[in-house]
């Protein structure tokens, strides 16, 4: 890429953080059943080990993005990484499942490093190189996720889930020191005031909406508890937008959301997030369900089916960034949607072996990353520089909301189309359930194509 010294240091720091974050988050997944058994708790309670991180992370992303614009991105990045390190350190010493959930919520604050890392790249690199650098980071996210899933399975199996946190804590401290030492200071910020009252309105609204989405599959979609959370979330979010339109220093300048490419990127972020996690959920259930309902793989073998996809994304990430630079984000999004559709069609026709699933997953995830890279670039390029951090934080939040919707849809379909073998207390999704999930993913992609067609294309040609 012909990078200058400060650009290379920034890129390496962001790559390290991307590896750490996704390594840690997927490393925990294989340990969930063991955590449930060790703490003698229910599946609905242990689900909060992942939900707490997602809800808090989604809620704080716009706030930290705005603080990065206002107070300096490196400063806020280190603060977020500090919260993440502290939460990881606590997690390994949890005496109860509720303590662990609280530690995971603290880690969620650290999730703000995702939009901040992308904003730092947008601030450090010239406009024509932003997409390539963001492509490198996006590819790294995939590698960290796959490594965490496989290594986490071995750690949980051999030394216990606590060491998933202990090992991550050590890595987090090392990375914090390296980032503090080598990451360029960057712009000190525009020093604009942040209205925390409206910020907390948004955080409360998003948290309540995600609470409904994560709890409804266990409590019931129409239970009084969940409907109360839904109604409160909707009203609080609406109140946020009403107040934002009337104050002089809003968290999100609502007029900027009317910029065509920003609106398109956020809508596609929700759609692609839903489709990707819908697919993840289906693949996890299918590979680990016993034959003849699935492939009957253990956690490690199921994780290994993702390995080729991560290698492919490592190569594809920077290449897709260059494609955005030469041809623009619009053709790249359409290409990604087309690739994802091919992968979903293959899931319908060929999934009887682990090799089939490996190929199908690799193609589908290649399509997903082909969508994520251009929409992130669209936000980075389309917004004024002083609002990029806030815009990327909002985009991250919306992609997470879509990501929360995906598993809910998959779970609903699987609980509708199931079979209970004679004499077994356990039910399994039928072949039709997985087919409907993949059909739903295809519908998501079709809607994404329609939205992408309204984008305004741009290119950078040297």
pLDDT of amino acid 1: 52
Q: What is the DSSP string of 238-298?
A: HHHHHHHTT-SS-SS-GGGGGSHHHHHHHHHHHHHHHHHHHHHHHHHHHHHSPTTTS----
Among 34-48, 210-224, 231-245, 419-433, the range with the most confident prediction by mean pLDDT is 231-245
Query: Is 458 in a helix, a strand, or coil?
Result: coil
Mean residue pLDDT across the chain = 84
pLDDT of amino acid 143: 67
Domain segments of the chain as ranges: 1-194, 255-462
Q: Which fold has domain 255-462?
A: Growth Hormone; Chain: A; (1.20.1250)
Cα(75)–Cα(68) distance, integer angstroms: 7
Chain Cα centroid distance, residue 41: 27
Cα(162)–Cα(24) distance, integer angstroms: 12
pLDDT of amino acid 406: 82
Tell me the per-residue pLDDT of 22-80, one tens digit each, with 9 for 90 and over.
777 777 776 777 788 888 887 678 778 877 888 888 888 888 888 888 888 889 999 99
pLDDT of amino acid 2: 55
pLDDT surpasses 80 at 283: yes
Cα(325)–Cα(125) distance, integer angstroms: 13
Is the fold of 1-194 the same as that of 255-462?
Answer: yes
Stronger pLDDT, 189 or 437, i.e. the higher one: 437
Cα(415)–Cα(412) distance, integer angstroms: 5
Sign of the dihedral defined by the CA atoms of residues 239, 244, 249, 251, in that order? positive
pLDDT of amino acid 287: 86
pLDDT surpasses 80 at 187: no
Q: Read off the pLDDT of each residue in 148-174 and give the average, rounded to a whole number.
A: 81
pLDDT surpasses 70 at 190: no
The residue assigned the tokens 């919306």 is 398
Cα(457)–Cα(446) distance, integer angstroms: 19
pLDDT of amino acid 332: 94
Q: Which long-range contacts (CB under 8 A, 24 or more apart) does 97-104 make?
A: 97/35, 97/39, 97/41, 97/45, 97/46, 97/49, 100/35, 100/39, 100/49, 101/48, 101/49, 101/52, 102/52, 104/48, 104/49, 104/50, 104/52, 104/53
Cα(263)–Cα(455) distance, integer angstroms: 9
**1-194 has which CATH code?**
1.20.1250.20
Model confidence band, residue 439 (pLDDT cutoffs 50, 70, 90):
very high
Q: Which long-range contacts (CB under 8 A, 24 or more apart) does 29-38 make?
A: 29/148, 29/149, 29/152, 30/149, 30/152, 30/153, 30/156, 30/157, 30/299, 30/300, 30/303, 31/152, 31/155, 31/156, 31/161, 31/164, 34/156, 34/160, 34/161, 35/97, 35/100, 35/161, 38/161
Range of lowest pLDDT (1-5, 78-82, 126-130): 1-5
Percent of the chain topping pLDDT 70:
94
Sign of the dihedral defined by the CA atoms of residues 33, 39, 41, 45, in that order? negative
Stronger pLDDT, 86 or 383, i.e. the higher one: 86
Tell me the per-residue pLDDT of 284-331, one tens digit each, with 9 for 90 and over.
788 888 888 888 887 677 767 777 777 787 778 788 888 888 899 999
What's this model's pTM, rounded to 2 decimal places?
A: 0.84
pLDDT of amino acid 393: 86
Tell me the per-residue pLDDT of 321-336, one tens digit each, with 9 for 90 and over.
888 888 999 999 999 9
| Vertex 321 angle, CA 320 and 327, to 5° | 80
Model confidence band, residue 264 (pLDDT cutoffs 50, 70, 90):
very high
pLDDT of amino acid 443: 94
Percent of the chain topping pLDDT 90:
23
Stronger pLDDT, 89 or 197, i.e. the higher one: 89
């Amino acid at each position: 890429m012909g990078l200058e010294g400060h650009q290379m240091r920034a890129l390496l720091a962001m790559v390290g953080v991307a590896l750490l974050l996704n390594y840690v988050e997927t490393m925990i997944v294989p340990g969930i059943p063991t955590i449930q058994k060790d703490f003698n708790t229910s599946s609905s309670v242990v689900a909060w080990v992942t939900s707490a991180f997602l809800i808090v992370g989604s809620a704080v992303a716009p706030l930290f993005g705005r603080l990065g614009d206002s107070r300096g991105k490196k400063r806020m990045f280190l603060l977020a990484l500090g919260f993440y390190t502290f939460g990881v350190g606590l997690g390994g010493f949890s005496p109860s499942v509720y303590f662990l959930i609280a530690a995971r919520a603290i880690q969620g604050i650290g999730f703000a490093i995702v939009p901040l890392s992308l904003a730092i790249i947008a601030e450090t690199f010239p406009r024509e190189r932003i997409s390539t650098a963001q492509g490198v980071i996006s590819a790294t996210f995939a590698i960290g996720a796959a490594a965490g899933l496989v290594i986490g399975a071995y750690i949980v199996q051999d030394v216990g889930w606590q060491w998933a946190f202990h090992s991550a804590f050590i890595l987090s401290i090392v990375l914090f020191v390296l980032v503090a030492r080598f990451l360029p200071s960057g712009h000190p910020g525009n020093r604009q005031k942040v209205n925390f009252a409206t910020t907390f309105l948004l955080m409360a609204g998003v948290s309540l909406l995600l609470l409904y989405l994560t709890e409804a599959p266990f409590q019931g979609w129409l239970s009084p508890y969940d409907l109360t959370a839904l109604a409160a979330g909707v009203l609080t979010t609406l109140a946020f937008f009403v107040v934002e339109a009337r104050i002089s220093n809003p968290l999100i300048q609502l007029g900027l959301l009317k910029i065509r490419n920003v609106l398109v990127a956020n809508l596609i972020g929700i759609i692609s997030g839903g489709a990707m996690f819908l697919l993840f959920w289906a693949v996890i259930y299918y590979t680990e369900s016993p034959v003849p309902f699935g492939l009957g793989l253990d956690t490690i073998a199921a994780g290994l089916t993702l390995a080729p996809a991560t290698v492919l994304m490592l190569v594809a990430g920077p290449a897709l960034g260059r494609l955005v630079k030469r041809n623009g984000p619009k053709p790249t999004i359409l290409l990604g949607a087309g690739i994802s559709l091919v992968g979903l069609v293959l899931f319908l026709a060929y999934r009887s072996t682990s090799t089939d699933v490996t190929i199908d997953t690799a193609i589908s995830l290649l399509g997903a990353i082909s969508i994520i890279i251009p929409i992130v670039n669209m936000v980075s390029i389309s917004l004024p520089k002083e609002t990029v951090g806030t815009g990327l934080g909002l985009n991250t939040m919306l992609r997470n909301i879509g990501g929360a919707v995906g598993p809910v849809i998959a779970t609903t379909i699987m609980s509708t189309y199931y079979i209970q073998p004679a004499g077994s207390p356990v039910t399994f999704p039928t072949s039709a359930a997985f087919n409907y999930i993949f059909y739903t993913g295809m519908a998501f992609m079709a809607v994404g194509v329609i939205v992408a067609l309204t984008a305004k294309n741009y290119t950078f040609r040297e």
